[in-house]
């Protein structure tokens, strides 16, 4: 993202809030309004020529940081059409994809577009891609513009970072010191679920049988056994004998 403070003072003076929010002013804003660079197609002088990685976009003049370099133009298509085109390009073994997401829609200059599509990827680019809202344009679409994020000299190759959230994943050959080695985001390979061992059926144990505990009586001494024997002899009279004894005593008292 380019530093807003580096954009020309005239633009910031006319519409500071709109510029900060990346909203272009309306056509009837003012005669001196400078925040209509996309509608007026304000671009730097650029050209396509051979570079170290094939064809690339180059500057034909010095460009200051914060200047609008070019507009990324091409057919504006919905998501469904974009997915169909990606499959078609893959069947044709096309390694280069040019589609950019512009909000709910996509701009795809793969088959027809302007020179901006020749900007190569770099891990240390001299341009950034910004999305700007244009009044009166297609709903759900924001224009893609390339803004210089550092001073660019005439003849320098113009590069931009394609981003990490892409449907492609290929080797990067930008040659920068901070090169990650890859363009796009690597697809995570699905992790195979671990094989679960078959559990053996649990054997149900029989409920424990409750057994009354055997109480061991203590052994008696000879003296204790003799006392018990005398005690039993004393009470060995039957109930009849006891009644007879009681009635005899009663009769004796009456005499």
Full domain range(s) for residue 82: 4-161
Which residues face 48 on adjacent strands?
A: 57
CATH at 22: 2.170.270.10
Q: Confirm whether 208 is domain-assigned.
A: no
Q: Which of 125, 127, 118 shows the shortest CA–CA distance to 174?
A: 125
Which percentage of the chain shows pLDDT scores above 90? 26
pLDDT tens string 151-186: 999 999 999 988 755 556 677 888 888 888 877 665
The pLDDT of residue 165:
52
Q: Confirm whether 253 is domain-assigned.
A: no
Which percentage of the chain shows pLDDT scores above 70? 64
The pLDDT of residue 4:
46
The average confidence (pLDDT) of the chain is 76
Q: Confirm whether 52 is domain-assigned.
A: yes
Q: Confirm whether 175 is domain-assigned.
A: no
Instruction: Name the domain count of the chain.
Output: 1
pLDDT of residue 206 exceeding 70: no
CA distance 62 to 76: 31
| Cβ-proximal residues to 29 (8 Å cutoff; 6+ apart), any chain | 14, 15, 35, 36
Ranked by mean pLDDT, which of 25-29, 42-46, 53-57 comes out on top?
Answer: 42-46
pLDDT tens string 117-139: 999 888 899 999 999 988 766 77
Q: Confirm whether 171 is domain-assigned.
A: no
Q: Confirm whether 193 is domain-assigned.
A: no
């Amino acid at each position: 993202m380019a530093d807003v403070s580096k954009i020309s003072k005239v633009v910031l003076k006319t519409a500071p809030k709109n510029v900060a929010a990346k909203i272009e002013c309306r056509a009837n804003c003012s005669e001196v309004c400078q925040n209509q660079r996309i509608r007026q197609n304000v671009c730097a002088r650029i050209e396509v020529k051979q570079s170290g990685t094939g064809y690339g976009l180059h500057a034909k003049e010095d460009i200051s940081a914060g200047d609008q370099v070019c507009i990324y133009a091409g057919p504006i298509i919905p998501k469904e059409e974009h997915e169909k085109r990606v499959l078609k390009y893959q069947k044709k073994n096309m390694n280069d994809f040019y589609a950019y997401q512009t909000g709910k829609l996509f701009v795809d200059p793969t088959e027809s577009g302007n020179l901006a599509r020749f900007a190569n990827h770099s891990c240390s680019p001299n341009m950034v891609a910004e999305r700007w809202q244009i009044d009166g344009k297609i709903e759900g679409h924001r224009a893609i513009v390339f803004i210089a994020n550092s001073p660019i000299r005439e003849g320098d190759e113009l590069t931009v970072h394609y981003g990490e959230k892409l449907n492609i994943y290929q080797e990067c050959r930008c040659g920068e010191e901070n090169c990650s080695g890859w363009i796009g985001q690597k697809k995570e390979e699905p992790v195979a679920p671990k094989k679960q061992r078959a559990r053996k059926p649990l054997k149900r144990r029989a409920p424990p049988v409750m057994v009354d505990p055997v109480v061991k009586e203590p052994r008696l001494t000879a003296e204790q056994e003799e006392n018990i024997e005398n005690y039993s002899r004393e009470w060995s009279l039957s109930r009849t004998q006891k009644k007879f004894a009681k009635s005899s005593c009663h009769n004796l008292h009456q005499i």
